[in-house]
Structure 1
């Protein structure tokens, strides 16, 4: 043990999306006693988030003490310049040899704090960190369960299945619609869509039969025998098996919710998660850790995006159903935290709670009476209380850490960013078209979803395009497959775009929609800068990139109301959405005594507390003396 080590254990409670502004408001009403106790013991401050202010970007900077150029995560989505194809930006799948099975590669670089501690012989328990799929090697010192970045069994962020007898229902965002066929004997038959293989989608037939012991239906086709479904109640996790051949099968787990018991029957199935006992690819370090947790705690969600926000946005789930699912997510994560606190008295414990972020995204409209998202949506007492309830529950998680702490424990609670309104969307591709920098294909009309994922762009006449949450790329010769911008003109074009977007006014409201747009060299430094966009847009509160533009579509207008249930956001100017930081020991929290705390300062703070030198390439500073 290092002679400079002054604590045996550091407990970090990550509370995704908690806004310091709301914490101050709720604390002023006496609502958050445990965060108030942290403030009393050590301090409370804002913490500077990343540019862009996105969850995978920010938590990667927390873990590696690097700006995005140093760890390589810039967004949820990116593009492959060689093919103009939209890809996930967190990981990729490779098969370098057709004789070998595919493998998943984590696109986050940098040295995370738990790996630095492991090399010093200090153990870590790391629960659900983003951008740790596949997990970081542990050298026998790390127990890690991967978080954001773990896909569902189909390889995406999460695709639910909506079963219905109604023939006119069409699939909406992130879902499959499956028609239930009613047999003469009254049984209903449908197919749960599972993973893809070389021959197409694998499916599992399910049957629904009337129950003899009460209201509801009996579900057949899952492992372990029939499951009794009650109307309006989430089932427990059920195992399903998809056969890929005579001796090959893939297992997953699903929750079900019977939305309508009487004809026409409606049944909602969550995305098919990896089974923690037999995931397609490793989701924990060591690999058996995921299954060991399930043996101890029961089955749990493994996808990186646990809460079914698309189910609420699509109207398949009402607010009560969604919040009930959020409650299940809280319970699973709290059980993991309690387990970690009970089994380790030294080293690092990190546990991330994502649910506050999802709840704020979907219930922010309750903080804005004039929000366009109110159109056609009822207001409920439960919805109005959802954000405060999430903050109170987050406070309880901080309380668990305080309860477990002794005088040799540093407790840190923090968020990766704050939150604000999202009332209006900005179609960046439509703006680029107006500037003569982008030309749509003539056979795909602006706004047509057929143009999603950059499919609606005429590359031979396009100099710049947008995909992701505020990223603009140049169609650069020698980099993009069909690039037309000469390299010696690239810097001038990027500066022209940044200048044109900075201070952009929404003509309908008269408000500034974009505070600033910056060329990448002004924001990012490090070995992964070549992955970054050429121009990054920082939106003003109330604005965000429009839904179509985020998917690479050319919208039919530059400005549009956001009437989506996803009514709050944080992908705006990072200065407007800092996170919060609280500790049970005094720390340098005042800008007057030095730089204000940043997310990149937390990893050096943790290693300093545990007596381990910070790597030279880390950019942050310790906040404790």
Structure 2
């Protein structure tokens, strides 16, 4: 009898294929160790390519429309002011660890996005960056709650995220990222050896935080690129550090363990911000009763709903909402006009140019065309300005549709549509360098993990086994 098969998933939020597979492949020997004799490739994210909903889409094998959330912050209903944050309570379907727990498999998850509040599993669940505190026994960030004391004894104060990572104090940022990552890997290495598990998954947020904070030092084509003796190599050095930690982890697992290294989306430079509500005002779709004297969030402005057809939300992508009669409290767009208005907006968004008059290459999605179903309150359109080279800025008061400062604090990069996946298993026979796979989508991860552990794949999973 062979030993029991196990699966280890190493999650790196925001890790891009351009760095891991191309630019630094020869400098990351442990990433290469997993690629060698395995399979690897670009992993297409969901739409939108953002941490929430991407990790839940990956681990449930359901698209964001089916899940019913379209980002961190979602409309709670069709009124104008009810918003809800998508934490674990928003996930109404099974994720991999739920299916495995029911099948009697021992599971451990550490820091997987949307696992706060933690839910009962057959093992341990350590909450994610959404956990408000690691010290409050009334609101434990772990299941079982007793794991909180165990973590504190092992690593001291555990960090679920970098506090205040949108900062101009880059020395502080780097110190905090390394502190957080060291503690996470220390805990993971300890539990890999000491605990009983069939499925172990953790997600490191440091990759995402260092990209957003340091990309202008990393990418010479960035419009804010700066030469700096330390910061120019900061992302490179962090990847070398992560690679070394992965090497230590690989030494702790046996040949019967299938190892995945995976990211939820990629990263790319940010060329600027497109002020979506300024654009809607300029085009006559959105009317304010008075224009603000300083930069102001739209929900702090007085909107004249009797003259407003459309409004939008900011973020790495734009969410566009129509003020529809019979749906919104003061709706004015007649239901029979909705499709024509959506098409008109799509055409106009796709024609947007930069300050020099060059088309930025915007992509517009209708949720009903990209999701199997649309639960919750979906946007009427999802917009990737400049194919994600431009972020969406929801605040108003710029007197311009362009801005080159971020309204939520310093941020150098946007997300990109493709992340990475590397899979190495004992029965792989691919030869040196491994084999590159094409056409992978992040919903393919969950059924592939279940197949590795010989657990039946639920019929409603949307991904395919690779």
1:149-205 Cα shifts (integer Å, max 9, x gaps):
223xxxxxxxxxxxxxxxxxxxxxxxxxxxxxxxxxxxxxxxxxxxxxxxxxxxxxx
Rg larger for: 1
Report whether the alignment pairs 1:114 with 2:97: yes
**Cα offset for 1:452?**
4.0
List alignment gaps of at least 5 residues for structure 2.
none
Report whether the alignment pairs 1:46 with 2:42: yes
Partners of 2:82 and 2:361 in 1: CA distance: 25
C-alpha distance 62-449 of structure 1, shift in aligned 2 (>3 A): same
**Cα offset for 1:497?**
1.2
Partner in structure 1 of residue 365 of structure 2: 518
Match of 1:292 among 147, 150, 167: 150
Please show how residues 50-449 of structure 1 align to structure 2 within 5 Å. Answer: 50-85=46-81, 87-91=83-87, 106-138=89-121, 141-151=122-132, 273-275=133-135, 278-302=136-160, 305-310=161-166, 312-313=167-168, 318-369=169-220, 371-373=222-224, 379-442=227-290, 444-445=292-293, 448-449=294-295
Partners of 1:456 and 1:392 in 2: CA distance: 50
Partners of 1:583 and 1:121 in 2: CA distance: 24
C-alpha distance 613-468 of structure 1, shift in aligned 2 (>3 A): farther
Partners of 1:110 and 1:503 in 2: CA distance: 39
List alignment gaps of at least 5 residues for structure 1.
92-104, 152-272
Partner in structure 1 of residue 444 of structure 2: 601
**Cα offset for 1:146?**
1.2
Partner in structure 1 of residue 421 of structure 2: 581
**Cα offset for 1:20?**
0.7
TM-score (norm 2): 0.90
Q: Which has the higher contact order (CA 8 A, sep 6+)?
A: 2
C-alpha distance 540-342 of structure 1, shift in aligned 2 (>3 A): same
Partners of 1:329 and 1:449 in 2: CA distance: 33
Native 8 Å contact 1:6 1:610 kept in 2: no
Partners of 1:471 and 1:393 in 2: CA distance: 37
Q: Give the alignment's Cα RMSD to 1 decimal.
A: 2.5
Question: 3-state DSSP class of the match of 1:511?
Answer: coil
Question: 3-state DSSP class of the match of 1:41?
Answer: coil
Report whether the alignment pairs 1:567 with 2:418: no
Partners of 1:421 and 1:443 in 2: CA distance: 31
C-alpha distance 353-339 of structure 1, shift in aligned 2 (>3 A): same
Partners of 1:404 and 1:368 in 2: CA distance: 35
Question: 3-state DSSP class of the match of 1:14?
Answer: strand
**Cα offset for 1:106?**
1.3
Quick check: which one's strand share is greater? Answer: 1
TM-score (norm 1): 0.68
Partners of 1:404 and 1:415 in 2: CA distance: 22
Native 8 Å contact 2:324 2:335 kept in 1: yes
Partner in structure 1 of residue 309 of structure 2: 463
The count of corresponding residues between Structure 1 and Structure 2 is: 455
